[in-house]
A = this chain, B = another copy of it.
Amino acid sequence: MGLSSTGYVILGFLGRRPMSGYEIKSLVDKSTRFFWTASYGQIYPELRRLAEAGLIEGEARPQGGRRRTVYRLTAAGHRELRDWLADDPHVLELRDEALLKLFFADSAGHQGAAEILAAKRERHLEEVETLKAIEPKARALPARFPHVVVRYGIECHQWAADWCERVASELAGGEEEAERRSA
């Protein structure tokens, strides 16, 4: 079928229960954003395309005078979601500016390298804190896997933070030696 990646996020959320585009966006911001983002500029046009393709159905559900459209999966949408889940995942991309800087850290001096590592560590620890704040909510959900994924995030960022600390002390040890040699 060749849906956009955002299309599958939408199908995934609608697989749980019917909801509006706005609600999908706020759930994305609270959950999948750590490994898969989506903006209004993608979500609303994609909702229209999915409806045209017959994978979802919209129903007007105004709240007072505030217009609102709630979407649900059709039978075809359920099939599409299941097929996608059964396919081998392909996208696995990382964009890590700290790692890029570390890669070029020979041009930064050993003080510079230490700062890059410290900043990277700090950043991962912030992510750990953010995810730990979310964790209880994920655990309370009727669905089981959101919590599994949150735990992945916590453990992964903690691992990365620990790696930074470990490498920083290895580097500091090596530097002391180098200083003795050059002294």
Task: Determine the interface band of chain A, counting residues with CB < 8 A from chain B.
Answer: 35 or more
Known A36-B99, A148-B167: A107·B85 in contact at CB below 8 Å: yes
Answer yes or no: A44 CB below 8 A from chain B CBs: no
Which segment, of A8-16, A47-55, A61-69, A128-136, faces chain B?
A: A8-16
Query: What is the total number of copies of this protein in its complex?
Result: 2
| CB pair B145 A36 closer than 8 Å | no
Assembly CA distance A115 to B83 (angstroms): 13
Which of B85, B149, B163 touches A152 (beta carbons < 8 Å)? Answer: B163
**Interface, chain A (partner B; CB < 8 A):** 5, 8-9, 12-13, 15-16, 31-32, 34-36, 81-82, 84-86, 88-108, 112-113, 115-116, 119-120, 123, 127, 143-146, 148-149, 152, 155-156, 159-160, 163, 167
CB within 8 Å for A100 and B145 given contacts A85-B108, A107-B15: no
Q: Are B89 and A98 in touch, CB under 8 angstroms?
A: yes
| Cα separation A32 to B152 with both chains bound (whole Å) | 24
